Structure 1
Protein backbone atom coordinates (compact mmCIF):
# COMPACT_ATOMS: atom_id res chain seq x y z
CA UNK A 1 0.00 0.00 0.00
CA UNK A 2 2.80 2.39 0.89
CA UNK A 3 4.56 1.61 -2.40
CA UNK A 4 1.42 2.46 -4.42
CA UNK A 5 1.12 5.84 -2.66
CA UNK A 6 4.74 6.68 -3.42
CA UNK A 7 4.28 5.60 -7.03
CA UNK A 8 1.15 7.73 -7.32
CA UNK A 9 3.01 10.77 -5.95
CA UNK A 10 5.89 10.21 -8.35
CA UNK A 11 3.46 10.15 -11.27
CA UNK A 12 1.21 13.01 -10.19
CA UNK A 13 3.85 15.47 -8.92
CA UNK A 14 5.44 16.10 -12.33
CA UNK A 15 2.00 16.76 -13.79
CA UNK A 16 1.12 19.22 -11.04
CA UNK A 17 4.45 21.01 -11.20
CA UNK A 18 3.88 21.63 -14.90
CA UNK A 19 0.71 23.59 -14.29
CA UNK A 20 2.46 26.73 -15.53
CA UNK A 21 2.68 25.14 -18.95
CA UNK A 22 4.23 27.05 -21.80
CA UNK A 23 1.67 28.62 -24.10
CA UNK A 24 1.34 27.17 -27.57
CA UNK A 25 1.94 29.75 -30.34
CA UNK A 26 0.43 28.57 -33.61
CA UNK A 27 -1.80 29.66 -36.47
CA UNK A 28 -3.39 27.39 -39.04
CA UNK A 29 -4.03 28.54 -42.59
CA UNK A 30 -6.07 26.39 -44.94
CA UNK A 31 -5.67 27.13 -48.64
CA UNK A 32 -7.85 25.42 -51.21
CA UNK A 33 -7.34 25.71 -54.95
CA UNK A 34 -10.83 25.63 -56.47
CA UNK A 35 -10.22 24.97 -60.15
CA UNK A 36 -13.85 25.57 -61.18
CA UNK A 37 -13.68 29.09 -59.73
CA UNK A 38 -10.03 29.74 -60.70
CA UNK A 39 -9.33 30.79 -57.13
CA UNK A 40 -7.44 30.13 -53.94
CA UNK A 41 -9.76 30.24 -50.95
CA UNK A 42 -7.86 30.96 -47.75
CA UNK A 43 -8.96 30.60 -44.13
CA UNK A 44 -6.50 31.70 -41.44
CA UNK A 45 -7.16 30.77 -37.81
CA UNK A 46 -5.20 32.71 -35.20
CA UNK A 47 -5.64 32.86 -31.43
CA UNK A 48 -7.61 36.03 -30.76
CA UNK A 49 -5.55 37.17 -27.78
CA UNK A 50 -2.27 36.75 -29.69
CA UNK A 51 -3.38 38.69 -32.78
CA UNK A 52 -4.93 41.36 -30.55
CA UNK A 53 -1.58 41.77 -28.75
CA UNK A 54 0.21 42.13 -32.11
CA UNK A 55 -2.28 44.70 -33.41
CA UNK A 56 -2.13 46.69 -30.17
CA UNK A 57 1.65 46.73 -30.18
CA UNK A 58 1.91 47.64 -33.85
CA UNK A 59 -1.01 50.04 -34.39
CA UNK A 60 -3.10 51.09 -31.41
CA UNK A 61 -2.89 50.02 -27.77
CA UNK A 62 -6.64 50.60 -27.30
CA UNK A 63 -7.62 48.27 -30.16
CA UNK A 64 -9.88 45.41 -29.11
CA UNK A 65 -11.03 42.21 -30.84
CA UNK A 66 -14.14 40.11 -30.23
CA UNK A 67 -15.71 42.54 -27.81
CA UNK A 68 -18.33 45.24 -27.78
CA UNK A 69 -15.43 47.73 -27.80
CA UNK A 70 -14.42 46.75 -31.35
CA UNK A 71 -14.34 49.82 -33.57
CA UNK A 72 -14.93 50.12 -37.33
CA UNK A 73 -11.17 50.62 -37.82
CA UNK A 74 -10.39 47.25 -36.22
CA UNK A 75 -11.28 45.39 -39.39
CA UNK A 76 -9.13 47.72 -41.50
CA UNK A 77 -6.16 47.35 -39.13
CA UNK A 78 -6.51 43.56 -39.17
CA UNK A 79 -6.71 43.58 -42.97
CA UNK A 80 -3.55 45.72 -43.24
CA UNK A 81 -1.68 43.44 -40.85
CA UNK A 82 -2.63 40.21 -42.63
CA UNK A 83 -1.91 41.59 -46.10
CA UNK A 84 1.49 42.78 -44.87
CA UNK A 85 2.36 39.43 -43.27
CA UNK A 86 1.01 36.92 -45.82
CA UNK A 87 2.36 36.83 -49.37
CA UNK A 88 1.75 34.25 -52.07
CA UNK A 89 3.39 33.61 -55.42
CA UNK A 90 1.70 31.29 -57.90
CA UNK A 91 3.75 29.89 -60.77
CA UNK A 92 6.56 32.32 -59.87
CA UNK A 93 4.43 35.49 -59.86
CA UNK A 94 3.11 37.42 -56.87
CA UNK A 95 -0.68 37.34 -56.61
CA UNK A 96 -3.05 39.81 -54.98
CA UNK A 97 -4.74 38.67 -51.79
CA UNK A 98 -8.26 39.95 -51.24
CA UNK A 99 -9.36 40.26 -47.62
CA UNK A 100 -12.99 39.15 -47.35
CA UNK A 101 -13.62 39.50 -43.64
CA UNK A 102 -13.40 37.83 -40.26
CA UNK A 103 -15.40 36.10 -37.60
CA UNK A 104 -14.72 34.60 -34.19
CA UNK A 105 -14.85 30.96 -33.17
CA UNK A 106 -14.39 30.47 -29.43
CA UNK A 107 -10.86 31.78 -28.77
CA UNK A 108 -9.86 31.97 -32.45
CA UNK A 109 -10.07 34.76 -34.99
CA UNK A 110 -10.97 33.30 -38.39
CA UNK A 111 -9.93 35.49 -41.34
CA UNK A 112 -11.04 34.89 -44.91
CA UNK A 113 -8.91 35.79 -47.92
CA UNK A 114 -9.05 34.92 -51.60
CA UNK A 115 -6.94 35.00 -54.74
CA UNK A 116 -8.92 35.17 -58.00
CA UNK A 117 -8.20 34.60 -61.69
CA UNK A 118 -5.85 31.61 -61.33
CA UNK A 119 -5.94 29.50 -64.47
CA UNK A 120 -3.58 26.81 -63.18
CA UNK A 121 -1.49 25.92 -60.17
CA UNK A 122 1.97 24.52 -60.95
CA UNK A 123 3.87 26.01 -57.99
CA UNK A 124 2.94 28.02 -54.96
CA UNK A 125 5.26 29.91 -52.65
CA UNK A 126 3.76 31.01 -49.36
CA UNK A 127 5.26 33.47 -46.90
CA UNK A 128 3.43 33.72 -43.60
CA UNK A 129 5.01 35.99 -40.98
CA UNK A 130 1.89 36.34 -38.83
CA UNK A 131 2.93 36.86 -35.19
CA UNK A 132 6.58 35.98 -35.86
CA UNK A 133 7.62 39.41 -34.54
CA UNK A 134 5.72 38.73 -31.30
CA UNK A 135 6.64 35.17 -30.40
CA UNK A 136 9.91 33.43 -31.25
CA UNK A 137 8.16 30.05 -30.85
CA UNK A 138 5.35 30.95 -33.29
CA UNK A 139 4.57 28.36 -35.96
CA UNK A 140 2.30 29.06 -38.91
CA UNK A 141 0.96 25.81 -40.29
CA UNK A 142 -0.23 25.81 -43.88
CA UNK A 143 -2.54 23.13 -45.27
CA UNK A 144 -2.98 23.27 -49.05
CA UNK A 145 -5.64 21.29 -50.85
CA UNK A 146 -6.01 20.94 -54.63
CA UNK A 147 -8.48 18.73 -56.50
CA UNK A 148 -5.85 15.96 -56.55
CA UNK A 149 -3.43 16.53 -53.64
CA UNK A 150 -3.01 17.68 -50.06
CA UNK A 151 0.22 19.19 -48.78
CA UNK A 152 1.33 20.95 -45.61
CA UNK A 153 4.08 23.33 -44.54
CA UNK A 154 5.25 24.52 -41.15
CA UNK A 155 6.60 28.06 -41.28
CA UNK A 156 8.46 29.76 -38.43
CA UNK A 157 11.09 32.43 -37.73
CA UNK A 158 13.83 30.30 -39.26
CA UNK A 159 11.78 29.50 -42.38
CA UNK A 160 8.92 31.96 -42.87
CA UNK A 161 8.28 30.81 -46.46
CA UNK A 162 7.87 27.53 -48.26
CA UNK A 163 7.31 26.35 -51.81
CA UNK A 164 5.24 23.49 -53.17
CA UNK A 165 5.34 22.08 -56.71
CA UNK A 166 2.56 20.26 -58.52
CA UNK A 167 2.63 18.26 -61.76
Structure 2
Protein backbone atom coordinates (compact mmCIF):
# COMPACT_ATOMS: atom_id res chain seq x y z
CA UNK A 1 0.00 0.00 0.00
CA UNK A 2 2.86 2.39 0.83
CA UNK A 3 4.43 1.67 -2.55
CA UNK A 4 1.11 2.44 -4.28
CA UNK A 5 0.78 5.76 -2.41
CA UNK A 6 4.40 6.66 -3.21
CA UNK A 7 3.94 5.95 -6.92
CA UNK A 8 0.61 7.83 -6.96
CA UNK A 9 2.23 10.79 -5.25
CA UNK A 10 5.15 10.88 -7.68
CA UNK A 11 2.83 10.68 -10.69
CA UNK A 12 0.66 13.46 -9.28
CA UNK A 13 3.75 15.61 -8.73
CA UNK A 14 4.88 15.07 -12.33
CA UNK A 15 1.40 15.91 -13.61
CA UNK A 16 1.35 19.15 -11.63
CA UNK A 17 4.85 20.09 -12.76
CA UNK A 18 3.86 19.67 -16.40
CA UNK A 19 1.40 22.57 -16.00
CA UNK A 20 3.98 24.90 -14.51
CA UNK A 21 5.71 25.62 -17.82
CA UNK A 22 2.53 26.05 -19.84
CA UNK A 23 1.96 29.67 -20.83
CA UNK A 24 -1.53 30.99 -21.22
CA UNK A 25 -1.84 33.34 -24.20
CA UNK A 26 -4.81 35.68 -24.16
CA UNK A 27 -6.02 39.21 -24.67
CA UNK A 28 -9.15 40.79 -23.29
CA UNK A 29 -11.07 43.66 -24.86
CA UNK A 30 -13.93 45.51 -23.19
CA UNK A 31 -16.34 47.41 -25.43
CA UNK A 32 -18.63 50.04 -23.93
CA UNK A 33 -21.30 51.95 -25.82
CA UNK A 34 -21.55 55.58 -24.67
CA UNK A 35 -25.07 56.68 -25.62
CA UNK A 36 -24.52 60.42 -25.08
CA UNK A 37 -21.63 60.65 -27.54
CA UNK A 38 -22.76 57.72 -29.77
CA UNK A 39 -19.31 56.17 -29.31
CA UNK A 40 -17.98 52.65 -28.89
CA UNK A 41 -15.01 52.72 -26.51
CA UNK A 42 -12.53 49.82 -26.55
CA UNK A 43 -10.04 48.87 -23.86
CA UNK A 44 -7.65 46.05 -24.76
CA UNK A 45 -5.44 44.29 -22.22
CA UNK A 46 -2.47 42.17 -23.33
CA UNK A 47 0.52 40.51 -21.69
CA UNK A 48 3.57 42.77 -22.05
CA UNK A 49 6.04 39.92 -22.68
CA UNK A 50 3.81 38.28 -25.28
CA UNK A 51 3.28 41.42 -27.35
CA UNK A 52 6.96 42.32 -26.97
CA UNK A 53 7.98 38.88 -28.27
CA UNK A 54 5.49 39.03 -31.15
CA UNK A 55 6.65 42.48 -32.25
CA UNK A 56 10.31 41.65 -31.60
CA UNK A 57 10.77 44.94 -29.77
CA UNK A 58 12.02 45.54 -26.26
CA UNK A 59 9.23 46.82 -24.05
CA UNK A 60 11.60 49.38 -22.52
CA UNK A 61 12.29 51.20 -25.80
CA UNK A 62 10.72 54.57 -26.51
CA UNK A 63 8.73 53.33 -29.51
CA UNK A 64 7.17 50.29 -27.82
CA UNK A 65 3.73 51.80 -27.15
CA UNK A 66 3.52 53.28 -30.65
CA UNK A 67 4.33 49.86 -32.15
CA UNK A 68 1.67 48.21 -29.97
CA UNK A 69 -0.95 50.74 -31.14
CA UNK A 70 0.01 50.15 -34.77
CA UNK A 71 -0.16 46.38 -34.24
CA UNK A 72 -3.64 46.54 -32.67
CA UNK A 73 -4.82 48.81 -35.50
CA UNK A 74 -3.67 46.19 -38.03
CA UNK A 75 -5.22 43.27 -36.12
CA UNK A 76 -8.59 44.56 -34.91
CA UNK A 77 -11.46 45.57 -37.23
CA UNK A 78 -14.99 46.64 -36.31
CA UNK A 79 -18.14 46.59 -38.45
CA UNK A 80 -21.42 48.06 -37.23
CA UNK A 81 -24.37 46.75 -39.26
CA UNK A 82 -21.84 45.49 -41.88
CA UNK A 83 -20.33 48.96 -42.26
CA UNK A 84 -16.60 49.21 -41.43
CA UNK A 85 -15.73 51.69 -38.69
CA UNK A 86 -12.53 53.69 -38.33
CA UNK A 87 -10.76 53.24 -35.02
CA UNK A 88 -9.18 56.23 -33.30
CA UNK A 89 -6.51 55.50 -30.72
CA UNK A 90 -6.88 57.55 -27.56
CA UNK A 91 -4.02 56.19 -25.46
CA UNK A 92 -2.02 53.30 -24.12
CA UNK A 93 0.03 52.42 -21.10
CA UNK A 94 2.40 49.73 -19.92
CA UNK A 95 1.88 48.66 -16.34
CA UNK A 96 4.28 45.86 -15.42
CA UNK A 97 3.18 42.69 -17.21
CA UNK A 98 0.13 44.36 -18.76
CA UNK A 99 -0.24 46.62 -21.79
CA UNK A 100 -3.48 48.60 -22.06
CA UNK A 101 -4.56 50.08 -25.40
CA UNK A 102 -7.52 52.47 -25.65
CA UNK A 103 -9.37 53.25 -28.87
CA UNK A 104 -12.85 54.25 -30.02
CA UNK A 105 -15.15 54.76 -32.97
CA UNK A 106 -17.85 57.41 -33.06
CA UNK A 107 -21.01 58.06 -35.04
CA UNK A 108 -22.68 54.87 -33.79
CA UNK A 109 -26.34 55.69 -33.14
CA UNK A 110 -27.84 52.19 -33.03
CA UNK A 111 -26.42 48.71 -33.44
CA UNK A 112 -28.33 45.78 -34.92
CA UNK A 113 -25.19 43.72 -35.47
CA UNK A 114 -21.58 44.10 -34.41
CA UNK A 115 -18.90 42.16 -36.28
CA UNK A 116 -15.31 42.10 -35.09
CA UNK A 117 -12.18 40.66 -36.65
CA UNK A 118 -9.60 40.10 -33.92
CA UNK A 119 -6.28 38.52 -34.90
CA UNK A 120 -4.23 39.91 -32.00
CA UNK A 121 -1.26 37.57 -31.41
CA UNK A 122 -2.92 34.70 -33.29
CA UNK A 123 -0.05 34.39 -35.76
CA UNK A 124 2.59 34.49 -32.99
CA UNK A 125 0.98 32.04 -30.57
CA UNK A 126 -1.04 29.07 -31.92
CA UNK A 127 -3.02 28.68 -28.68
CA UNK A 128 -3.83 32.41 -28.30
CA UNK A 129 -7.39 33.19 -27.20
CA UNK A 130 -8.87 36.67 -27.51
CA UNK A 131 -12.00 37.60 -25.60
CA UNK A 132 -14.22 40.60 -26.30
CA UNK A 133 -16.92 41.64 -23.82
CA UNK A 134 -19.52 44.08 -25.15
CA UNK A 135 -21.88 46.27 -23.13
CA UNK A 136 -24.58 47.88 -25.29
CA UNK A 137 -27.70 49.53 -23.86
CA UNK A 138 -28.01 47.12 -20.94
CA UNK A 139 -27.15 44.03 -22.98
CA UNK A 140 -23.95 42.03 -22.43
CA UNK A 141 -22.37 39.85 -25.13
CA UNK A 142 -19.10 37.94 -25.25
CA UNK A 143 -17.08 36.92 -28.29
CA UNK A 144 -14.05 34.66 -28.42
CA UNK A 145 -11.42 34.44 -31.13
CA UNK A 146 -8.72 31.91 -31.90
CA UNK A 147 -6.95 30.50 -34.94
CA UNK A 148 -9.59 29.43 -37.41
CA UNK A 149 -12.19 31.69 -35.78
CA UNK A 150 -10.85 35.21 -36.31
CA UNK A 151 -14.24 36.84 -37.06
CA UNK A 152 -17.28 36.86 -34.80
CA UNK A 153 -20.63 38.62 -34.95
CA UNK A 154 -23.37 39.35 -32.42
CA UNK A 155 -26.85 40.80 -32.84
CA UNK A 156 -28.72 43.15 -30.52
Q: Same fold (TM over 0.5)?
A: yes
Report how far residue 3 of structure 1 moved: 7.5
Residue 50 in 1 paired to residue 50 in 2?
yes
| TM-score, with length taken from structure 1 | 0.83
- For the 8 Å contact 1:45–1:111, the answer to whether it is kept is yes
Q: Distance in 2 between matches of 1:8 and 1:22?
A: 22
Question: Among 138, 149, 155, which residue is 2:139 paired with?
Answer: 149
Note the residue ranges of structure 1 that are not aligned, 5 or more in a row: 57-62
What is the root-mean-square deviation in Å for CA atoms of aligned residues?
2.1
Q: Distance in 1 between matches of 2:19 and 2:144?
A: 27
Residue 34 in 1 paired to residue 20 in 2?
no
Q: Give the length in aligned residue pairs.
A: 156
What does 1:106-121 align with in structure 2 at a 5 Å threshold?
A: 106-121=96-111
Note the residue ranges of structure 2 that are not aligned, 5 or more in a row: none
What does 1:53-132 align with in structure 2 at a 5 Å threshold?
A: 53-56=53-56, 63-65=57-59, 67=60, 70-71=61-62, 73-132=63-122
- For the 8 Å contact 2:65–2:93, the answer to whether it is kept is no
Higher strand share: 2
- For the 8 Å contact 1:35–1:120, the answer to whether it is kept is no
Q: Distance in 1 between matches of 2:64 and 2:23?
A: 25
| TM-score, with length taken from structure 2 | 0.89
